[in-house]
């Protein structure tokens, strides 16, 4: 009885193609179209996909994605602030809001219709006789104010600080955690301005969030064992600047510093095993506290 001749293996995905190459993982024959380079030999598409699903994505020391090293959120925040500055200037038919107005060297340039609409304002009667402000239901001001500025110098100072601080923090925290830090710090500063400023005093600027980033950088760098000796003097200079230059919102800056620092502590010291859960819960608790303070101040103003 004669033996049957050996058959040539065919690709398991393309039965009409003969091949002598096998997947180094599952040992099935694969043709050139199905070959995927591997550390040893070639793998089939299914094994490659299975391997990708089993590999955990790289994370920063605080649980964030490594895409933060590109600084996408920092760049997007700067772009948004610049865009709103341009819209603010365009809304001012007088044209003096960019460099004019009161304050140190034009730092607190003139207000515009856009800053009047979006700045933190407790409760005030407008020239047309209407009532407005956070206490009147315009809660959006607590968010919009962190993206509006009184003059180009005011904008440039804040954007320079955001560029320097933001890239480092975003690389260490990841895009989502850095974005949350920025927004919560900015909101905290605006809530403090609402609490402790005169009810008819308007405030705006990204400095509420920027001061939070200063506090966060010190906490994050300290947690990583980095030298913070160069950061503290810059923060002290900014605090002196805040306390001595007329027209700057002291509650806004200090509020952003405190709330940004609190959020940074949550992000930096959340236990590794339940890191994301603790970070989300911590951020939610901070937001609830801020909400309670807003409700308290609103009731106070309406009662007065």
Query: Whose CA is closest to 206, among 169, 282, 151?
Result: 151
CA pair distance 203, 150, nearest whole angstrom = 9
Kindly report each contact of residues 129-137 with a partner whose C-beta sits within 8 Å and lies 24 or more positions away, as own/partner. 133/199, 133/301, 134/194, 134/294, 134/297, 134/298, 135/199, 135/297, 135/298, 135/301, 135/302
- Catalytic residue of the set 42, 149, 154, 253: 253
CB of 124 closer than 8 Å to CB of 301: no
- Catalytic residue of the set 88, 111, 207, 249: 207
CB of 251 closer than 8 Å to CB of 208: no
207 is catalytic: yes
CB of 293 closer than 8 Å to CB of 195: yes
The full length of the chain comes to 304
39 is catalytic: no
- Which positions are catalytic? 207, 253
């Amino acid at each position: 009885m004669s033996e049957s001749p050996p058959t040539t293996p065919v690709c398991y995905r393309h039965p009409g193609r003969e091949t002598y190459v096998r997947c180094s993982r599952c040992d099935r024959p694969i043709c050139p179209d199905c070959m995927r380079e591997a550390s040893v030999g070639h793998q089939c598409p299914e094994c490659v996909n299975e391997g990708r699903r089993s590999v955990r994505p790289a994370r920063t020391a605080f649980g964030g994605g490594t895409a933060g090293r590109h600084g996408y959120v920092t760049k997007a925040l700067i772009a948004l602030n610049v865009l709103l500055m341009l819209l603010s200037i365009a809304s001012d038919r007088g044209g003096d809001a960019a460099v004019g107005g009161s304050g140190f060297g034009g730092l607190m340039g003139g207000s515009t219709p856009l800053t009047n609409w979006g700045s933190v304002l407790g409760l005030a009667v407008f020239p047309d006789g209407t009532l407005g402000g956070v206490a009147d239901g315009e809660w959006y001001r607590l968010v919009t104010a962190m993206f509006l500025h009184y003059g180009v110098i005011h904008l440039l100072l804040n954007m320079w600080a955001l560029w320097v601080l933001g890239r480092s923090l975003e690389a260490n925290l990841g895009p989502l955690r850095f974005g949350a830090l920025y927004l919560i710090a900015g909101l905290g500063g605006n809530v403090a301005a609402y609490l402790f400023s005169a009810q008819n005093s308007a405030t705006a600027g990204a400095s509420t969030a920027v001061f939070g980033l200063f506090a966060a950088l010190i906490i994050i760098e300290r947690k990583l064992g980095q030298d913070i000796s160069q950061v503290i003097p810059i923060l002290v200079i900014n605090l002196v600047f805040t306390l001595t230059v007329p027209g700057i919102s002291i509650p806004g800056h200090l509020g952003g510093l405190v709330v940004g620092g609190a959020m940074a502590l949550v992000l930096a010291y959340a236990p590794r095993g339940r890191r994301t859960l603790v970070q989300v819960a911590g951020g939610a608790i901070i937001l609830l506290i801020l909400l309670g303070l807003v409700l308290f101040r609103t009731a106070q103003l309406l009662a007065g």
